[in-house]
Amino acid sequence: MPLSAQASGVTLANCYIARMELVSLSTATILTGLSKRTLWRRISSGELPRGDTGGKAMIDLASIADSFIVPAEVELVLQADRGSPEACNDLALVFLDARRDTEAVYWLRRAAAADHPDAMHWLGRCYLEGRGVPTDVDLGTMWLAKSAAHGHAISKAQMAAMRSKLGVPAH
């Protein structure tokens, strides 16, 4: 960023948001905590601008950014909305750090569905600890096992410890 931009207070977030970056309605619901119905109502009233891409309703990120975002997260949100498993996982970790567990689970599920080992690990931990989902030892163990099968070192160690504790030989 040029020195003059830094001096004028222009941030990374302002640069992205000035370009009218659009996110899906589903992403907007997760980021803001508002229902789709509420977002549609705000679009209809003109409170929120609507964008369209290929017939899909989109929302301008700038119109909802104040409620959830810091400048470093703008590109992450955009990449996650476009389906990047790595970005979905990283955004989930931001939400876990902020204790917004339900939102984190949404992004972890998206990344885990794309076979992202770290997301599978954290999704397993969420199920085991009841973070954002009801506690479910079976689902938690399943996600840890999938993560281990995809080479996640911590999940491998945790699965080995579980097998050892139960007296099940490693294979």
- 57 and 93 inside one domain: no
- 63 and 91 inside one domain: no
- 48 and 124 inside one domain: no
* Residue 60 CB coordination number (10 Å): 17
d(CA 159, CA 86): 23
82 half-sphere exposure, CB direction, 13 A CA radius: 12
pLDDT digits (tens, 9 = 90+) for 91-120: 999 899 889 899 999 999 999 999 999 999
Q: Structurally, how many domains does the chain consist of?
A: 2
- 17 and 44 inside one domain: yes
pLDDT digits (tens, 9 = 90+) for 119-171: 999 999 999 999 999 999 999 999 999 999 999 999 999 999 988 888 767 66
- 105 and 128 inside one domain: yes
- 35 and 91 inside one domain: no
First to last CA, the chain: 53
Which of the pair, 70 or 51, is modelled with greater confidence?
A: 51
Tell me whether residue 165 is in a domain. Answer: yes
pLDDT digits (tens, 9 = 90+) for 6-20: 333 434 444 444 456
d(CA 115, CA 110): 9
Residue 131 belongs to domain spanning: 83-171
Tell me whether residue 94 is in a domain. Answer: yes
Q: Last residue of a domain, which of 25, 42, 69? A: 69
